[in-house]
Structure 1
Amino acid sequence: MAQSETADTRSGYCAATGSFRSKRAAVPLPVDRDVDVVTFLASRRHSGVVALIDAATGRRTTFGELWRAVAGAATALASAPFSLRKGHVALILSPNSVHFPVAALAAMSLGAVVTTANPLNTAAEIAKQVADARPVLAFTTRELLPKLPRDHPLRVVLLESAAGDPLPADPRIAATIEEISATPPDPARRRGDRVTQDDQATLLYSSGTTGPSKGVVSTHRNLISMVQIVMTRFRLEESDSTETFLCTVPMFHVYGLVAFATGLLGCGATIVVLSKFELPEMLRCINAYGVTYLPLVPPILVAMVAHPKPLPLGQLRKVLSGGAPLSKELIEGFKEKYPQVEILQGYGLTESTAIGASTDSAEESRQYGTAGLLSPNTEAKIVDPETAEALPVNRTGELWIKGPYVMKGYFKNTEATKATVTPEGWLKTGDLCYIDEDGYLFVVDRLKELIKYKGYQVPPAELEALLLTHPEITDAAVIPFPDKEVGQFPMAYIVRKNGSNLSAHEVMEFVAKQVAPYKKVRKVAFVTDIPKNASGKILRKDLIKLATSKL
């Protein structure tokens, strides 16, 4: 994106438009509209050899084997009994697996739309998603097969080896992923439905942390844009050496899908796939496979810092955190315990196909509390929620972003789409933010999560960051508690350190000494853990329900 002549070079702010321009160099996007994300990825040149490693077995998949498997699976899926076509929806219900990218890429190469589901979801939750998305095909495991609704016609491909135990006696099962991947690719298959950048690629359901879950429709262009941003961020194509990433974040989430099932496969990086996160297994993989990059979510980072002794991290050079902002105390604690490892952050939403801002160096990460600089090809506005006025540097308002990665819209929900994306293409994030004089984005809180105390607005994240500085608190969440006199007041859920006898009164006193009176925590409950979604964001609605159920 070219920098406007009227834009401030330090902050990126343009007074004429009321918007901020990314300070990062623009990344090129393919001009040919008849390019799908799979073709784009497979055509990238790099020096990488091993694409995927199964952490549990050590089995390696080369890039040549990967793309042959994708082409073979696509050929099989386009034929009977699947007959998968452009516009059909394919569901992936699976934990992380080396088969996950093959399934996703094969389906998308045919123009099918990939929807994913959290394996921890209940059968009822999955049935609701199936009823909305109407998939014709499901990729899953034998353990998760019972969660698929029987009243919806589905062909099933099991994401497992063809040489394993006998397949379950379920008429819906048509094949295993290894069976269809071994199909000889049909060169003529490309003559079928042409897949373009404007076609739908994914249908991911938002976490629903501020309301009912909605299907987010992203196009091949959205994914290609984010692939380019991922490759530019890590500068992997510029390096002669191959980097190794450990996949600890779920591929069913936009963060994992963009990084591990698409983006990194285009730049020669090796991905070690961890099917289930456990700290000892993570450490084993880091050392056994020479992991150099570790993308994760904040709860894992907290566990690493809280460990009594520094953990053995082998050749690890960079930790990449996303999903929720990191506090200054957590960053400093990590740097003190692991000085050889850089910690980088990112900000994004399902609706923005992941990364909208990031810190890409140790120097940028020293801007404590920031989500980073705007991603390449990005414009942003900070908008007053009351007046819709575009605000300048260091003023807090709702963040609006625009770029080629912004979703097409919400699935079968025109009203929600119009309320979230303006006719000019601005995505209203629902996050209260500000951008400072150096162009760094700071996330203050969710607009809808502000606590309204006597008309004052109290950001829960601010109080949570303060609570986490207490030496006897390992985790905290703050919610609005209803009150007839004041409207709402802050209530804190606290996880104490082992052996701590910290009292509710002591917690309230600790906060009261450091904040304005209207921000005081006025109710405290102690819990063993704070409920969070796959990206590490606090599930406040669950805590609000818990608190109000006792009224």
Structure 2
Amino acid sequence: MSFKIRAFILFFAFCICNIAGNGGNFDENTKLWGNCVPELHNSETSIAHMALSAMKKNGAKVAQINADTGKQLKYKDLFEITVRVAQNLQNRGYKPKQMFGFMVKNSEAVAALMFAAFAMGAIPDMCSVTLGKEDLAPIFERSKPSVIFCDVEFYDLVRESLREAGSNAKIFTLNGEKGDSESVEALFQKTGKETRFIPTKVDGINDVAIKMCSSGTTGTSKGVLLSHAALISGILRTKVVDTNSVILNMNSIDWITSLIALLLATFNGAKRVITEKPYTPEWQLQLIEKYKISFLITPPYQMVSNLKSGLLSKKKLSSIRLQLVCGTKVPFDALNEYNSYLTNGSAVNSYGTSEMASFLTIDYPKSGKDTIGKLLNGLNLKIIDENGNRVGIDMDGEIYVKSSYKFIGYHGRNDLTREVIDDEGFYRTGDIGHVDRDGNIFIVGRAKDLLKYCSKKFAPSDIESFLIKSPDIENVCVTGIPDDLAGDIPVALVVRKTNSRISENDIYQMVANQFPDHYKLRAGVFFVNSIPRNNAGKILRRQAQDIALSCAKGRCE
């Protein structure tokens, strides 16, 4: 099909959608929400093809700035290093569809290494830098990697995990060498064939492009297998940056938001600022002001921490055009307060999952409502109640979504894949919510996180969003103590602000005065030094519940 014909079909479909659209394209008969505009890209295109083409087009532009060293990398240099790495790996005998493990922070070479893997048809296997041997060894045993790229600081852990998994994978280290590792710089050598490089052809719909980590907030992190078509589709529907954007990327590359930031920047020829240093309000705000950051993706806790730091000013945030806040429910009052500092842009709610390869909703332009936004292009959504029936407008239920391209599944866990994909190909998000008449989607909470006290259900995030507004509270997590008769007895873990004198009873009364009876923190309020989170900022609920159980037994640290 020619481009002109496809463009006409797209325009025609767009007109039909806008003429027939009623409250977010809701079909009363099927009880489905959806954006019927088709996606205009070749599903056989690979990530490498998209990325390398963009690198050639934007060759003279700066692709990446390492904020830790000040070193800049232009797109033409990124293209050259990517091709050399791919060719040198091919010369060593590595093949398409082999797994290439990554256990790295956000260092300079990571982008080229990942694009090289894509270019030769290999599969980057992204391992969280927070994993220990008990988690990493089983991952290696299942994925059977041929190559591991790791920061030199993780060499001992990787080597021991490979040994336990019975793997002889070659280890390339970043930022130095150790033991039997080889520096990744050995792969940057000239080949003399750079101009003749052609990326490996892939089946965009069915071939695995990458294996990502799921958040692991309610248990062990799962390996999420994504296709080239699903990832490209996810990036193309996220129309939030352009060639003039400056993107801040603070999270390690094993999380989907960092991958999105990398692909958004590269496909659009934008500038990406990276750092290996951990988040602090001081560091993030310094980077925003110094590099005039226009776009960033952050978890809610970073936004709230910035507010509580006392360091915010309109001047420091004047460069921001759009800040996507995602990962967990955002306190609406905090979001509004943060936006009062953004004179030239907005911070908005957004929503996505690793399994769907990118964002599903973005509240942009900002609606002014406590919503995660409307469904993006190329997606369908349904709400399923407790009886398994589809429900309509303003009715709560579990959110199911479906994209143009299938979710391949969880690596080595077909049983878990079957649990989250229904007979119609919809992905079960695990989130409870509803859609209003305007197509705005509202999240109530996670199905697994909902507490049920004396047969009454409620979302712990309601209490968390209320308590975090207190100037005396730095961080908070609400969970439940299991009880045979009552169900879940609410309990709060609280990190107090320095020098705060707020008491357990103060917090108990705050909740009791604000919410219905079943919300009361009957199992107690316990002060802790920190709330367990993954490196994407999400609360690790199972670990938090274990801490609460210990506290309830008098062993709170």
Common fold, TM-score beyond 0.5? yes
- Please tell me whether residue 204 in structure 1 is matched to residue 212 in structure 2: yes
CA distance change for structure 1 residues 461 and 84 in 2, over 3 Å: closer, same or farther? same
Q: State the distance in 1 between where 2:267 and 2:492 align.
A: 44
Query: Is the alpha carbon distance of 1:212 and 1:57 closer, same or farther for their aligned partners in structure 2, counting shifts above 3 Å?
Result: closer
Superposition RMSD in Å? 2.4
Aligned to 1:462: 462
Q: In the TM superposition, what are the counterparts of 1:195-344 in structure 2 within 5 Å?
A: 196-230=204-238, 232-234=239-241, 236=242, 242-260=244-262, 262-277=263-278, 278-311=280-313, 312-313=316-317, 315-344=319-348
Q: Distance in 2 between matches of 1:279 and 1:509?
A: 30
1:158 counterpart (138, 156, 173): 173
Measured against aligned partners, the alpha-carbon deviations of 1:284-339 in whole angstroms (never above 9, x if no partner) come to: 33333332223222222112111224243353333222212211121122123444
| In 2: Cα distance, 1:281 partner to 1:307 partner | 12
Asked if structure 2 preserves the Cα contact closer than 8 Å seen for 1:496 and 1:526, the reply is yes
* Match of residue 107 from structure 1: 117
**Range 186-195 or range 537-546, more displaced:** 186-195
Structure 1 residue 446, shift from structure 2 partner:
0.8
- Pick which of 519-528 and 280-289 moved more: 280-289
User: 1:469-513 deviations in whole A, cap 9, x for unaligned?
Assistant: 334223221101112331212111122222222222221211112
Matches within 5 A, 1:123-202: 123-148=133-158, 149-151=161-163, 152-160=167-175, 167-168=177-178, 170-171=179-180, 173-177=181-185, 179-180=187-188, 182-185=190-193, 190=198, 194=202, 196-202=204-210
Percent identical residues:
23
Matched, 1:119 2:119: no
2:414 aligned partner: 414
Q: Deviations over 1:101-136 (max 9, x none)?
A: 111111111111111112222233222221222111
- Segments of structure 2 that go 5 or more residues without pairing to the other structure are 1-9
Alpha-carbon distance in 1 for matches of 2:459, 2:200: 53
Distance 1:178 1:257, change over 3 A: farther
Tell me the alpha carbon deviations over residues 142-178 of structure 1, each in whole angstroms, 9 at most, x when there is no partner: 1111111241211122224xxxx6x33x22x244246
Q: Which amino acid aligns with 2:61?
A: V
Contact 2:292–2:319 (Cα < 8 Å) also in 1? yes
Query: What number of residue pairs does the alignment pair up?
Result: 528
Task: Give the letter aligned to residue 531 of structure 1.
Answer: P
2:59 matched to 1:57? no
Corresponding residue SS for 2:373: strand
Hey, what's the Cα distance between the residues in 1 that align with 2:288 and 2:470?
31
Following TM superposition, by how much is the alpha carbon of 1:195 offset from its aligned partner in structure 2, in angstroms? 5.3
Q: Is the 8 A contact 1:111 1:195 kept in 2?
A: no
Q: Which amino acid aligns with 1:233?
A: V
Give the C-alpha shift of residue 22 in structure 1: 3.3
**What SS does structure 1 have at the residue aligned with 2:117?**
helix
Query: CA 1:193/1:314 → structure 2, altered by over 3 Å: closer, same or farther?
Result: closer
* Equivalent position of 1:18 in the other structure: 31
The more displaced of 147-156 and 263-272 is 147-156
Pairing of 1:471-486 with structure 2 (within 5 A): 471-486=471-486
> Aligned equivalents of 2:128 and 2:199: distance in 1?
34
**Counterpart position of 1:359:** 363
Task: Report whether the alignment pairs 1:541 with 2:542.
Answer: yes
In 1, are the aligned partners of 2:99 and 2:124 still within 8 Å (CA)?
Answer: yes
Against the structure 1 CA distance between its residues 289 and 470, is the aligned structure 2 distance closer, same or farther, given a 3 Å change threshold? closer
Pair 211,57 (structure 1): closer, same or farther in 2 beyond 3 Å: closer
Q: Relative to structure 1, is the Cα distance of residues 175 and 183 closer, same or farther in structure 2, using a 3 angstrom cutoff?
A: farther
Q: 1:73 maps to what in 2?
A: 85
CA distance in 1, matches of 2:199, 2:250: 38
Assess, with a 3 A threshold, how the Cα gap between structure 1 residues 201 and 181 changes in structure 2: closer, same or farther: farther
* Alpha-carbon distance in 2 for matches of 1:432, 1:48: 47
Whether the 8 Å CA contact 1:19–1:380 is kept in 2: the answer is: yes
Other-structure match for 2:7: none
My pick for the range that moved more, 262-271 or 500-509, is 500-509
Q: Is the 8 A contact 2:234 2:356 kept in 1?
A: no
Quote the residue 2:496 is aligned against: 496
The code of the aligned residue for 1:354 comes to S
Structure 2 Cα separation of the partners of residues 371 and 183 of structure 1: 48
For residues 347 and 30 of structure 1, do their structure 2 counterparts lie closer, same or farther at Cα, with a shift above 3 Å needed? same
**C-alpha deviation, 1:39, in angstroms:** 0.3
Instruction: Give 5+ residue unaligned stretches, structure 1.
Output: none
Counterpart of 2:3 in structure 1 is none
What is the rounded CA distance, in whole Å, between the counterparts of 1:499 and 1:463 in structure 2? 23
- Name the CA shift for 1:6/1:63 in 2 (closer, same or farther; >3 Å): closer
Secondary structure (helix, strand or coil) at the match of 1:430 reads strand
2-structure distance, mates of 1:441, 1:48: 41
Does the residue aligned with 1:449 lie in a helix, a strand or coil? coil
Secondary structure of 1:30's counterpart equals coil
Distance 2:234 2:42 in 1: 13
Question: What amino acid is the match of 2:340?
Answer: E
Asked whether the equivalents of residues 21 and 380 of structure 1 are also in contact (C-alpha less than 8 Å), the reply is: yes
